[in-house]
Amino acid sequence: MSERIERRLWLAASPEDVWDVVTGADWLADEVNLDLRPGGDASFRSSSEDKAGWVEEARPPSDSPDGSGRLAFWWASDDEPATRVELTLEPARGWDGPEGTRLRIVESRPLDVLDLIGTPLPRSGGVTYGPALVAA
Amino acid sequence: MSDPADRAGAVFGALSDPTRRALLQAIAAQPAATATELASDLPISRQAVRKHLTALADAGLIEHRRAGREVHYRVTPAPLSDAVSWMADVGGQWDERLATLRRTLDAR
């Protein structure tokens, strides 16, 4: 088992609109740079801390036949172990029609998975993710 | 194990087992428990108690001292608060982001 934060909420907006905000320039941090493709670089600047990472998966709702979206990325600041963040967006009916989104967010540090894989994960922006970091 | 998130991982790992959680509660219930006393409190063997005591000690959840022929165990509260503060910090950041998200979408 590893530490894990999970949040779910229903939003009165389409998955496309929610996607625009959550991948936007100022939601995940004060200043966000996200290269929305697998392996893309990511950087997050805030008043309290800066983080760097990479994108594992970025599937906007507009590209998906069922209208769902998924963003998975890894991030870490210099003195922290990397954690994985996964945002899932699903279209959900509102009272008057399908104009809602179920958003699920999971932030976790999948220690068990990394230990099991036993090989370094992709390296990006000077931050190494993988067992070396986990074992430190 | 100095990093709070590392500590949190070890603590949650140790606490993922229901027998270990019961054992930790039993240790917390008395000031200087011995393995024999703990084995008599719980439906597990003394050997199993020793194995779980090692896992709890490795996670920094309990500490022991030798007293003559006995070994006394007690709970160390600090690592649990590390784990809890990791959950509170990261969880609090997401709660703030989600509140912002709702406000942003409502304003559209």
* Best CATH choice for the domain B4-82 from the list 3.40.50.1100, 3.40.190.290, 3.10.129.10, 1.10.10.10: 1.10.10.10
What's the pLDDT at B87? 72
Q: Which residues contact B15 (CB under 8 A, 6 or more apart)?
A: B21, B24, B59, B61
Model-level pTM?
A: 0.58
Nearest Cα to Cα of residue A88 among A109, A72, A64: A72
- B84-100 pLDDT, tens digit each: 667 777 888 898 899 99
Select from B5, B102, B104 the Cβ nearest to the Cβ of A81. B5
CATH number at residue A17: 3.30.530.20
CB contact under 8 A, A3 and B97: no
Nearest-angstrom CA–CA distance, A11 and B36: 55
Question: pLDDT digit of tens for each residue in chain A (136 aa)?
Answer: 457 888 999 998 999 999 999 999 999 999 999 999 999 999 999 988 899 999 999 999 999 999 999 999 999 887 777 888 999 999 987 667 667 999 999 998 765 444 333 333 444 444 444 333 333 3
Min CA distance, B60 vs chain A (Å)? 16
Q: Is A52 helix (H, G, I), strand (E, B) or coil?
A: strand
Nearest Cα to Cα of residue A108 among A87, A86, A131: A86
Domain ranges of chain B: 4-82
Range of the domain at A26: 4-135
